[in-house]
Structure formats: C-alpha cells, structure tokens
Structure 1
Amino acid sequence: MDLILCPFIFEHVARPWKAIRTLAGALRPGGFVVWAAPMFQRYHGSPHDYYRYTPNGVKALADEAGLEVIKLYSPGDLSLVNGVLMGMLMPYWSMEHVLREAELMEKDNAPRHPLNVFALLRKPGSRPDIW
C-alpha cells in the first residue's frame, strides 16, 4: 500500500508494537501512514480502551517498526484539556484554540498538554515507478 489512514485506532489496540509493525509491513517503500490517537481523553471502551500516546510515544512506535517520523502535530494546552475532561466540548472553544500547538517549555521536547497526537510516518525507500 502507498497510504494507510489510521485515525484514533491505536488507543483500542492491545498490542500496539505488533500493530505498528503490521502496518509498516503492508506499506511499499516510500509509503505513508497518517496516524492519530488521543493523549488526554476520557476512557471510551468500545469495546476496549488501552493506551494514551505522547509525541515521544509515537516516535517510539515508529522507530519500532522502522518508520520515519515526517511530521508530528500535537495541538492543545492545559485549559483545553481541563475543559474537555470536564465536558466542555465545542462550541466552548474557537477552532484557532483547538488547533493551536502550545509553545514548548524550557527543556521540553514536546508540548506538555496535547489533547491528541497526529503523525505522518513514512517507510524508508523509494516508491517504485508503477506507471
């Protein structure tokens, strides 16, 4: 496959290391995975809810499968996370606020309070010319 979309699935996967290796194995060289998962969210077991992901957790998953992290996007801040956990969903927040990544604090390598983590992952190598 050239592209795999995997939005908000991995929090429901009991063995994420195995799952990310399976996705990587299904990709052609040069293929992409568009991946997303929550970091701060209420438990939503349908049927199961196992994990929350930090930006560094996504990097570790990608590394396990031999995937390159092309882009990480982790929007949210403490006020948004607290509000959402208290049940204050849209329309309490502007789109600009919801989509804004917080500035990094000194000595941090990722935002402290992202509501969700999004990643663009790539399998190394060149895509074969199929045309």
Structure 2
Amino acid sequence: MACKTYLVEDSSVIRENLVGFLEEVTEAQVVACAASENEAVAWLKAHRDEWELAIVDLFLVQGNGFGVIKACRDRGANQQVIVLTNYATTDMRERSEALGVDAFFDKSAELDQLVDWFASRHSPRH
C-alpha cells in the first residue's frame, strides 16, 4: 500500500523530479505539494488525516521549513516528517531534530539513505 506523502519544495523542477523519483523508487504516493510555508501549513490544517509522510525542504518561496515542521508537531502516531534539503549543515540538522523530525537528508548527497530509510519503514511493492 502506497504511503500518502506530502511534499514541501519550492523549486518546481526539483519538485517534479522528486515526485517521479519517490513514486518510482519508494512506496510514496505524493498526494499534494506546496512551495511556501503558508501554503503548506494551510494544507496540513485542512487535511490533518490525509497524509502519512511529509517531506520538507527548509528554504521556501515564503517562510521556511521550520514553520512547516512546527505545524506538524501534533501529528498522529502514524505520521512522520523528514527534512530533505540542500542546506544540510550541522546547525540545520540540530534545529530540525529539536523540532521533532523523524529523519534529515541532504538532497544532493543522501538520496540513497532516504530510499533506505523509506524501505525500512514501508513494505516493498509486490
């Protein structure tokens, strides 16, 4: 069964490539996307139970991923939040972890680890 995934990414090119990558290589089914903090937070509030995984970039068109992560604090036990960013500094990792993310990945260097993380949490397709 596909994992209902919400993608928060400001670059339309990266967003399009990630949707294809995630749906082809993992069990993700991207149910919606946002490019800004306000858009993402509004969608999350309106669709509280309609996602299982939120993948959040930290730098967005408006606002930032930290605001999106904060909006996910009261998520259900079956919902996870991960960061996927090009700004994978120690400070960004620590700030994200302090806000309660389930995992943190460098967009340019850790896609294999993201796939491994996903596979460890979701059963493979049959």
Higher relative contact order (CA 8 A, sep 6+): 1
Shorter-chain TM-score bucket reads 0.3 to 0.5
Higher helix fraction: Structure 1 or Structure 2? 2
Q: What TM-score do the two structures reach when normalised by structure 1? A: 0.35
Q: What TM-score do the two structures reach when normalised by structure 2? A: 0.36
